Amino acid sequence: MTTQEDTKNPLGPGYDVAGSEMRYRDSFNKTLRDELNRDPDVFLMGEDIAGGAGRFDEDGKPLDAWGGPFAATKGLIQDFGPDRIKDTPISEAGFLGAAIGSALTGLRPVVDLMYFDFVTVAYDQLLSNAAKSRYMFAGQTKVPLTMFARSGGGTGHAAQHSESFYSMLAHIPGLKVVVPSDAYSVRGLLSAAIRDDDPVFVVSDKKLINLSGFVPDENFAIELGKGRYLRKGSDVTLVGMSYTSVLCKEAAEKLAEEGIDCEVVDLLSLSPLDESILIESVSKTNRLIVVDEDTPRCSMASEVAAIVADQAFDYLDAPIKRVTGPHTPVPYNKALETAFMPDSNEIIIATKKLLDL
């Protein structure tokens, strides 16, 4: 058995649970495997998710597949076969439409859209069919569809493979959007998404994929629509989402060495959005900085700032600050890409400025 003290168990102090350190990518893969075993109606679709499965050994079994460019589905084709692990053509609108149809008829498809930028290719299916069908049929049908893709810059994938515009998805009524920030939360949120009866989009930042953290052995789900505290504090609230939650925690730990006590809120879910945790935290710290890798116009940082300004204005002792990417595409040039990305040092500077230090 492992405990909070020796594994940084995210379940909290005193909660004794069996588990181990695991990379984000491995936690993701393990969750897919567990959900495929748990429910025979679950199946996967996407480009190259069973790549390599066209090669067979002398016994006729498929050779080890690479599981796409991020290895999210590595090895699944061997255990579940092509009926449940389906390679698709390069047609996001086509195969997402097929997945929506299968969800409407009772299956639970899980769709890999590879890079987050490719959401735009299938946006009509997402907006007009996945998100609206349950409403337009007056609740007489369900759309138990899970989608996932990799977002974020900082990895040299250039402007067309580095977007973080999850606010475009959170804007759509009927679609749930979650943003795991570590190996623990991706396991719980992905499980919850696959079991949910509404369409859910799981956004995974590419910078998280090889980071490790404690993951319980048990199969569990995290309630959709709830944020969490990564650190309690009293001087200022730092709000992050996906990889920016990692940056907020890094900044908070560095600021603590200088006697500045930051509270860190990890949103985990963008739609539904946990407004109560935002108000609760700001009512205590009286200051707010929101960190979002997306560009600033109509971003989640803007939405969080608006909610707090509307519901907790009287608690604020200083203006709300946003730390975001600039209003430009993500550059390919390494030096420019580094300048584009929010980092912990930028959060530290914003915090000290807010506290007049």
Positions marked catalytic:
92, 161
- Token pair 């907006």 is at which residue? 127
CA 155-159-164 angle, to 5 degrees, is 75
Length of the chain: 357
Cα–Cα distance list, 147 to 101, 126, 190, 226, 345 (Å): 14, 10, 10, 19, 33
- Token pair 């899980």 is at which residue? 110
Q: Report d(CA 194, CA 75) in Å as an integer.
A: 19
Q: Report d(CA 62, CA 55) in Å as an integer.
A: 6
Q: Using an 8 Å Cβ cutoff, are 24 and 208 in contact?
A: yes
Q: Which helix (H) or strand (E) holds 277?
A: helix 275-285
Report how far apart the first and last C-alpha atoms of the chain are (Å, whole number).
44
Q: Using an 8 Å Cβ cutoff, are 175 and 131 in contact?
A: yes
- Token pair 């439409």 is at which residue? 97
Q: Using an 8 Å Cβ cutoff, are 191 and 34 in contact?
A: yes
